[in-house]
Amino acid sequence: MKVNVYVTLKPGVLDPQGKAIHHALEGLGFGGVADVRAGRFIELDVVDGTSDADLEAMCAKLLANTVIENYRIERP
């Protein structure tokens, strides 16, 4: 079973990677960009029947730093 996990910085947390992408886009002539936020996207292939609690634990313990990041679990 495929599970997608999206990890994003919490609002208000500085995002130097996003800032760098924004700056580079402007340098390439793409002026119509107001903001860029960079995050991670993790595709997990887990055995069928993996519980939501297990997926939550994977995110909270390893995949995301919950002090500064939010995560979203999506079962397609």
- Tell the smallest beta-carbon distance from residue 29 to its own copies (Å): 9
- Tell the smallest beta-carbon distance from residue 65 to its own copies (Å): 14
Query: Helix (H, G, I), strand (E, B), or coil: what is residue 65?
Result: coil
* Chain residues in the site for its own copies (CB under 8 A): 6-8, 18, 21, 24-25, 28, 30, 32-47, 50, 54, 57-58, 61-63
Contact call for residues 1 and 48 (beta carbons, < 8 A): yes
**Amino acid at site 2:** K
CB nearer to its own copies: give 51 or 67. 51
CB nearer to its own copies: give 54 or 67. 54
| Distance (Å, whole) CA 27 – CA 46 | 41
Assigned token pair, 1: 């079973």
- Tell the smallest beta-carbon distance from residue 8 to its own copies (Å): 7
